[in-house]
Amino acid sequence: MPTSLQTTASTCCYCGVGCGVLIEHDGKTILGVQGDPKHPANFGKLCSKGSTLHLTGDLDARALYPELRLGKGLARSRATWDSALDHAAKVFAETIREHGPDSVAFYISGQLLTEDYYSFNKLARALVGTNNIDSNSRLCMSSAVVGYKRSLGADAPPCSYEDIEQSDCLLIVGSNMAYAHPILFRRLEAAKAARPEMKVIVVDPRRTDTCDLADLHLAILPGTDVALFHGILHILMWEDWIDRAYIEAHTEGFDALKQLVRDYSPTVVADLCGISQADLLRCAELIGKSPSFLSLWCMGLNQSTAGSAKNSALINLHLATGQIGKVGAGPFSLTGQPNAMGGRETGSLSNLLPGHRDAGNAEHRAEVARYWGVDALPETPGLTAIELFDAVAEGKIKALWIACTNPAQSLPDQSKVHAALAACPFVVVQEAFFTTETCHYADLLLPAASWGEKEGSVTNSERRVSHVRRAVQPPFDARPDWAITCDFARRLEHLLKPGLPSLFDFASAQALFEEYKHLTSNRDLDLSGLSYAILDNQGPQQWPFPAGAQHGTARLYEDGRFPTASGRAQFLAEPYCSAKEKRDGRFPLLLNTGRLRDQWHGMSRTGTAARLFGHAEEAVLSLHPDELRRRRLQDGQLVSLRSRRGELIVPVQADENVRAGQAYLPMHWGNRFLKGLGTNVLTQPAFDPLSKQPELKLSGVEVEKA
Ligand code: SF4
């Protein structure tokens, strides 16, 4: 081991488990990575993705210099930061003056650090005067946000990872934890090995590796979750496995729900969900008779046109059984991205404001405007991800700033998104990797610092804030995201509001954190007692952590009081509605998309490490053997996979884990198929009416010989 080897404690940049890492480096180059034994998310363990972080991020794939082009048909040329940001400020200022503030938009990312998010929010709302700032968290957690807020009064996951280990009954819905949140799954495996009496129920149309741990797997038909939850509640009520005292003391709206779920008898629900009545009854019995019950969910629930209803129907089960605010109990959404929580906290969805405030609430706008020292914040509702790219396609958005995300790969109906980006007059892409599909459309490419190269903070799925530390300098001209944003903002201020003191005079990420944290004072997520020094001295902390607190808060709602107007949690009585796209004669299969164990999102980072292709070399379509037989297809054959929106040529494999009438394709590939763009060329942009989260997991498709 070289004598100059240094170690810097930081966090993994992939999933919402938020594992602590020790970055090994020589001050210039990252040489290795270990799990941080002191970090309470992972206690030293790392999964295949985290443990290979140092092998990814190859310089050949990195954006290293600003690059600008002055015409759509031209190639980008290397530029200085001054000329690049001056040009961007000039174009944004002219566009805002000519077409108004809502003619520009920002599309940012759950991969950003909290300080990056905050700087973007302040830029959009306080300086530009638009709410057109949305994040790829719209594709990830926005249904959970709506679910928590409507049922419990605040966007606050109430549990801790320890509750998962201490629970008597776990319901895992629409989440392949074994692949998507591996270290948390390892903790669950260890807990079940130590306490075999712990029951695990997995609800997933597909039999995944997570099911290996399950006592019961309910392979429901895609999109029928609301019917399932109402059916479970029907049985809980019938058997008197509900907590009437809790309902009476701490909730509202139970009578309406009781009326609704009367119609969801076991016969009806088993038929709707395509499961046996015996399994349904067993599921309800496990939940109803367990001393503690905790549910975990992820994209399978959220990415749906009924995502908000699914979240509320699941939370109903916890309220009806009093299984919330106590050890081993509660509804617990698993955050997909490393800092989707930080984005929600800083207001990085178009309908939110910093400190879990709402952009549509005049009082909230006035509070933030006062704090920022501006006259007012914009009232016009901002566009959400799908709406935003529709507006780009319609020519309403004339300057678009994209940071740390790859919408040309990750948004549904990919062809439409590519056409929109091609037509947008000015596209800025702030990115660490020039290889993403979106970079192709950048008129201005700004090189961003990546993992191990920048400082800030992140919040993981259990509300735990970690200090993200820099180990090495970013390569060549790359800069931290917050620094790029603030530098641009100062130049735009000079053009739009000359002579006024700058709102973006931040010399460090820490300065941004110090300003931001006071906006959370006396809010449900109060972080005002935190500082980088406290995180360094006491380790990562769970919010709320108000000023003067000695430690964070492991569990919410232990006193049965909720942050609603009445102080009571709300039952939501919403009927099951079938999914928007159904099987029919032309598209007789329902396509589900999801993650592989060793790849992350659009593979801009994981795709640079050969070792991570050892688990799965390429995207393969999985079909039940009966579906192959019906179509006279062979295992491994190339097939044409078509939806109403596009076509791909992919290899197919027989897979007993996928039910007949369904299909499964990994989500990571953006443009590497023999024909077509990526997986999302097939998926549909229909979205939930409240959360505006698109239905990425359910699209009608057909498969034929290629
Ligand atoms: Fe990183 Fe998630 Fe793996 Fe932890 S579980 S090492 S945060 S990818």
Written as six digits, the tokens of 497 are 């509001």
CA of 35 to the centre of ligand 1 (A): 10
Kindly tell me the number of DSSP H helices and DSSP E strands found in the chain.
22, 28
The finding on whether 12 has its CB within 6 A of some atom of ligand 1 is: yes
Residues forming a β-bridge with 333: 297
DSSP E strands, 146-203:
169-173, 199-203
Say yes or no to pLDDT of 1 above 60: no
What's the pLDDT score for residue 3?
A: 55
Mean pLDDT of the chain: 97
Handedness of CA 195, 197, 198, 200 (dihedral sign): positive
C-alpha 210/C-alpha 199 separation (Å) is 13
Report, as an integer, the average pLDDT of 535-564.
97
What's the pLDDT score for residue 511?
A: 98
Q: Which of the four pLDDT bands, split at 50, 70 and 90, describes residue 615?
A: very high
How many Å is the Cα radius of gyration of the chain? 24
The finding on whether 50 has its CB within 6 A of some atom of ligand 1 is: yes
Say yes or no to pLDDT of 673 above 90: no
CA of 483 to the centre of ligand 1 (A): 26
The protein residue with its alpha carbon nearest to ligand 1, atom 6, reads 50
What's the pLDDT score for residue 87?
A: 98
* Tens-place pLDDT, residues 625-669: 999 999 999 999 999 999 999 999 999 999 999 999 999 999 998
Report, as an integer, the average pLDDT of 139-168.
97
Handedness of CA 18, 406, 180, 346 (dihedral sign): positive
CA of 509 to the centre of ligand 1 (A): 24
* Tens-place pLDDT, residues 410-440: 999 999 999 999 999 999 999 999 999 999 9
- Substitution site in 17, 161, 185 for ligand 1 pocket (most atoms within 8 Å of beta carbon): 17
Name every residue whose Cβ is closer than 8 Å to that of residue 574 and which is 6 or more positions away in sequence.
226, 260, 309, 312, 313
Among 33, 534, 32, 574, smallest CA distance to 261 is for 574
* Tens-place pLDDT, residues 62-74: 999 999 999 998 9
**C-alpha distances out from residue 676 to 65, 194, 481, 648, 700, Å:** 30, 48, 32, 5, 17
- Substitution site in 23, 34, 36, 42 for ligand 1 pocket (most atoms within 8 Å of beta carbon): 42
The protein residue with its alpha carbon nearest to ligand 1, atom 2, reads 15
Report, as an integer, the average pLDDT of 375-402.
98
Residues forming a β-bridge with 433: 62
DSSP string, 601-658: TT-TTGGG-GGGGSS-SS--EEE-HHHHHHTT--TT-EEEEEESS-EEEEEEEE-TTS
What's the pLDDT score for residue 677?
A: 86
Of ligand 1's listed atoms, the one at least distance from the Cα of 42 is 4
CA of 181 to the centre of ligand 1 (A): 7
Neighbours of 650 (CB within 10 A): 25
Report, as an integer, the average pLDDT of 693-700.
97
What's the pLDDT score for residue 580?
A: 85
* Strand pairing report for 464-468 and 199-203: unpaired
* Range of lowest pLDDT (140-144, 445-449, 617-621, 676-680): 676-680
Q: Which of the four pLDDT bands, split at 50, 70 and 90, describes residue 4?
A: confident
What's the pLDDT score for residue 634?
A: 96
Q: Sketch out the chain's domains with CATH numbers.
A: 6-59 (3.30.200.210), 67-140+338-506 (3.40.50.740), 143-334 (3.40.228.10), 589-705 (2.40.40.20)
Q: Which of the four pLDDT bands, split at 50, 70 and 90, describes residue 675?
A: confident
Report, as an integer, the average pLDDT of 155-182.
98
Contact 334, 496 (CB under 8 A): no
Say yes or no to pLDDT of 58 above 90: no
What's the pLDDT score for residue 350?
A: 98
What's the pLDDT score for residue 674?
A: 66
Residues forming a β-bridge with 666: 594
The finding on whether 13 has its CB within 6 A of some atom of ligand 1 is: no
Contact 491, 483 (CB under 8 A): no
Of ligand 1's listed atoms, the one at least distance from the Cα of 47 is 3
Report the run of H or E that residue 459 belongs to, with start and end: strand 456-459
* Tens-place pLDDT, residues 292-332: 999 999 999 999 999 999 999 999 999 999 999 999 999 99
The finding on whether 180 has its CB within 6 A of some atom of ligand 1 is: no
Sheet strand arrangement including 541-542: 456-459, 464-468, 541-542
CA of 9 to the centre of ligand 1 (A): 15
Burial 154-163 (b: 16+ CB within 10 A, else e): bbbbbbbbbb
Q: pTM above 0.90?
A: yes
What's the pLDDT score for residue 695?
A: 97
* Tens-place pLDDT, residues 36-49: 999 999 999 999 99
The finding on whether 328 has its CB within 6 A of some atom of ligand 1 is: no
Written as six digits, the tokens of 173 are 């819905």
What's the pLDDT score for residue 104?
A: 98
DSSP E strands, 276-424:
293-297, 330-333, 352-353, 357-358, 399-403
Say yes or no to pLDDT of 455 above 70: yes
In the block, tokens 């701490």 appear at: 250
Say yes or no to pLDDT of 95 above 90: yes
Phi/psi at 396 (5° precision): -80, -30
* Tens-place pLDDT, residues 329-370: 999 999 989 999 999 999 999 999 999 999 999 999 999 999
